[in-house]
Amino acid sequence: MEKCILVPFDFSNEANFALDHAYELARISKYPIHLLYVVQSEREIEEWHSELKKIADKFAEKHNYKVEAVVKAGNLFETIYNYGIEANAYLAVMGTHGLKTIKRAMKVIQKFVKIPFILVQRPINYGEYDKICVPVDDDKKSRAKFLWVKYLNNLFESKVYIVYPETSDSTRKAEINSNLMFATSVFEKDNMDFEIKAVPETNFADNMYDYMNEIEPDVVLFMTDKYRKSITDLKRARNIELSKKVPIMCVNPRTDIVKLGGFAY
């Protein structure tokens, strides 16, 4: 089955923002967009499919792009996951209401080991993902992010901005340096444009977002298990606001290496 970009849809403003973001990715990869709405019972499907198809058809006509409307009945989290696998989705874009729905969003995302999720709260700021911010810590599982960065770079020829915490802990420092070396090897092999920035470990979340205020990234990558802390630790008002504007790609740890779209991740 042809790959697609999955957009879980709930008819909110944020869901419409997610559709716009999905299109920016889809028009480069040329894969169709699937809008998915989950209802509680089978008898609701026909009515809601009619409503969803209006949105899909209007967007498809405006952008001259293939958008499919899909309505399924069942448990929200299981249904999104099962359809993502069934439809061969390689990427999902989902609107979120921020901290109010973070637990709900994580329940969806954590099921997807092979599919990254991009979470959006606001309209597109800059369009294509030309600038990617990647926080690096001492967790080796986070190396999955670098290979998804490689994928985005294949689409957009992005510049990558790596940010990491300066620490006095020798063990953590060694692990961070190891991850930085891994990232460097991945990016240099593909002649990717990147830079590395150290910021103080104390108040790392705010220091990282201070840096992001300078570089104005189009997307920031977090491991799913690190996303919540990175947002809830923010204290500075401008950084809290920025966290709502910049799309966040969440990826889960991987234990295997598979092929997707011509690259390994």
DSSP letter string, the chain? ---EEEEE--SSHHHHHHHHHHHHHHHHH-PPEEEEEEESSGGGHHHHHHHHHHHHHHHHHHHT--EEEEEEES-HHHHHHHHHHHTTEEEEEEE--GGGGHHHHHHHHTT-SSS-EEEESS--SSSS--EEEEE--S-GGGGHHHHHHHHHHHHH--EEEEEEEE-S-HHHHHHHHHHHHHHHHHHHHTT-EEEEEEEESTTHHHHHHHHHHHH--SEEEEEHHHHHHHHHT--SHHHHHHHHHS-EEEE---SS--EETTEE-
Instruction: Please state the rounded mean pLDDT for residues 37-55.
Output: 96
Is pLDDT of 62 > 70? yes
Provide mean pLDDT across the span 146-171: 90
Which residues on adjacent β-strands are paired with residue 27? none
Using alpha carbons, list the distances in angstroms from residue 53 to 7, 34, 61, 68, 240: 14, 11, 12, 7, 35
DSSP 125-143: SSSS--EEEEE--S-GGGG
pLDDT higher than threshold 60 for residue 118? yes
> Can you give the pLDDT at residue 98?
64
Mean pLDDT of 82-107: 82
Q: Does residue 87 contact residue 34 with C-beta atoms inside 8 Å?
A: yes
Mean pLDDT (whole number) for 115-136: 85
Mean pLDDT of 118-124: 88
Q: Which domains does the chain have, with CATH numbers?
A: 4-120 (3.40.50.620), 131-264 (3.40.50.620)
Burial grade of 119 (CB within 10 A; 0-12, 13-18, 19 or more) = buried
Average pLDDT of every residue of the chain? 88
C-alpha–C-alpha distance, residues 153 and 190, integer Å: 9
Question: Do 83 and 94 meet the contact criterion of CB atoms below 8 Å apart?
Answer: no
Banded model confidence at residue 255, pLDDT cuts 50, 70, 90: very low
Q: What is the pLDDT of residue 126?
A: 61
C-alpha 221/C-alpha 107 separation (Å) is 18
Task: Indicate the burial class of 193 (C-beta count within 10 angstroms; 0-12, 13-18, 19 or more).
Answer: exposed
What's the pLDDT at 148? 83
pLDDT, average across residues 231-237: 93
pLDDT band at 263 (very low <50, low <70, confident <90, very high): very low
Q: Alpha-carbon distance 221 to 238, whole Å?
A: 19
Q: Per the structure block, which two tokens stand in for 204?
A: 């790392």
